[in-house]
A and B are shown apart, each in its own frame.
Chain A
Amino acid sequence: MIVAVKDVTKRFRDVVALGGVSFTLRENTIYGLLGRNGAGKTTLMQILTGQQVATAGTVEVFGEQPYENDAVLARTCFVRESQRYPDDYRVKHALRAAALLFPNWDEAYAQSLVDDFRLPRSRTIKKLSRGMLSAVGLVIGLAARAPLTLFDEPYLGLDAAARQLFYDRLLADYAEHPRTVMLSTHLIDEVADLVEHVLVIDQGRLIVDEDADRLRGQVVLATGPADAARAFAAPRTVLHQTTVGPVARFTLRGEVDADARAEAERLGVTVTPVSLQQLVVSLTTGAAGSATSKETTP
């Protein structure tokens, strides 16, 4: 366990950005931190890296609190969408700076990534396109090889090919140099196969903290004649439901075992797994933001 967050609350004046969040991160695991805009993902990552201080609760990273802790932060890399660079910095300057600040920095690997992402080494960072700017952050995040690496919306403006390149490089490097990675993104389907553990934040609250494979089995789509589908849904938690004519579709939470499948078949209800993205969408569109709230779409 390299991160332990307990009852962390962060208030900005009268806005509650995080309300009583608790979780732990294991060593050498890729975490997906998912949630809507303004859910509190960035604030959480800032608190983990000591850039913000929690209003209440405790945070331990590598067994110590991270704020102004050189030993902890030297082993942590936080790549964020809004990373600022000095105005006159060129790409090579940013890499040189990162090489000085990250003890595990691999210069050869960084240079190969610069080639992969086709970054112009001598161009001023201010003049880079949005996608290239993101790529600079990705190169730093990967080549830093920090035992705890946080990516916050790291690829704004990056094209699909470059994003795929990032996933490939991340997985390959992760296999050779295991570390703990936390990745926050809105492109959930793209990272669905990448993340091993899913954390979902909604309105400052942690509503899912689950192994990715287990989570996938836990939420299903039950489609069938309205009465039959309703009967199948009755003992389960309904996350979302739509009715079109005689056909109803329920998004359900809860393990669907062999018995349940047999029951569904008897009722004439089709049970299909939902994608991670579907799941997060249905969990975070509730008015109250609660995982158990039932909602009906007319």
Chain B
Amino acid sequence: MTSLAVDRRAILASRALAVTRLQLTTNLLPLAIPLVVLAGSFVVNVMVFSASDRAQAEGTTGGVASIYFAQLVVAWASVHQNFSFTVGLNATRGAYYLGSLAVAVLQSLVYGLVLFVLNILELATGDWGIGLAFFDPAGLTPDASPATYLVYTVPLAFVTMLGLFLGSVSKRFGTRGFFLLSIAAFLVGGLVATLITHLNGWEPIVEWLARQSLRAVLTGWLLVPTVLASVGGWFVLRRAVP
């Protein structure tokens, strides 16, 4: 590798770092939104479960999913909010995207940690004393092991990367282009499903899925679409005009 190539990488890294710092320090509101949504969902659930009779409070809640949806939307919107601004101030698309990926990874790690710690509290307090299994509605995170941390964090990384990818697509192709591409994606998906049916392929797929534990899917296999989304986002965005 020539020294020029090394220089280029060093400059790209420093520019990407500037983008990361920009997103993490200038305006904290978008970073707080997923946590605020989660807190709101939690408070509502606490009120509902407190009000109901303890003996009957055997119901479950999907309230923890709120942070995943919020994060998906925030990541999607962040491309629309930040790309034109940052590239308009002459960051390269590469620096913007690398910096944004770093933010995405950091967000996933930190929010995952928040969920992990709150789950430990939930375990310690016996479902908050009101039978509210908010952070473990499906019995997937019954302990404080590293695997439990990953069960929270990997899906967070997935929705964040998916948000960046969808944001890149709608930024590059516009709203109309995004809808057309969505329709095309549905058609292709339908075609693939029909093909699988035609080839009697569902049985082996279902059998394979049944052999995987849900924890393994959430912590392992989900990394595949996560990486695909993050790489795909770059290929879409690198020709976008701010």
Contact = CB atoms under 8 A, between A and B. Distances in A.
Q: Bound pair: A and B? A: yes
Contacts of B81: 86-87
Contact of A93 (B18, B26, B86): B26
Interface of B: 7-8, 11-12, 15, 18-19, 21-22, 25-27, 29-30, 81-82, 84-95, 238-239, 241-242
A82 to B, nearest CB: 9
Given A84-B84, A84-B85, A85-B85, A73 B27 contact: no
A77 interface: yes
A117 B4 CA distance: 42
Nearest to B94: A68
Interface in A87-113: 87-90, 93, 96-98, 100-102
A70 B95 contact: yes
Nearest to A67: B92
B22 A49 contact: no
Given A51-B241, A70-B95, A101-B22, A86 B82 contact: yes
B88 A68 contact: no
Given A78-B88, A101-B22, 13 more contacts: A68-B92, A70-B8, A70-B92, A78-B90, A86-B81, A86-B85, A88-B30, A89-B26, A89-B27, A100-B19, A100-B22, A100-B26, A101-B18
Contact of A97 (B12, B26, B93, B241): B26
Given A68-B92, A97-B89, A74 B82 contact: no
A80 B81 CA distance: 17
A71 B238 contact: no
Nearest to A87: B81
Contacts of A71: 7-8, 11
Nearest to B27: A93
Contacts of B8: 70-71
A86 B87 CA distance: 12
Most B C-beta atoms less than 10 A away, residue of A87, A89, A97: A97
Q: How large is the interface on A (under 10, 10 to 19, 20 to 34, 35 or more residues)?
A: 20 to 34
9 contacts: A51-B87, A51-B88, A70-B95, A85-B85, A86-B27, A93-B27, A100-B22, A101-B86, A146-B90
Contacts of A50: 92
B184 to A, nearest CB: 21
Given A71-B7, A73-B90, A73-B92, A51 B85 contact: no
User: Which 10 residue pairs of A and B lie closest in terms of their CB atoms, listed nearest first?
Assistant: A86-B81, A84-B84, A70-B11, A73-B90, A93-B26, A100-B18, A68-B92, A96-B26, A70-B15, A100-B22
A24 interface: no
A69 to B, nearest CB: 7
Contacts of B22: 96-97, 100-101
A50 B92 CA distance: 8
Most A C-beta atoms less than 10 A away, residue of B11, B92, B239: B92
Given A74-B11, A93-B27, A100 B21 contact: yes
A85 B26 CA distance: 12
B203 to A, nearest CB: 47
A140 B8 CA distance: 25
Contacts of A53: 239
A140 B91 CA distance: 14
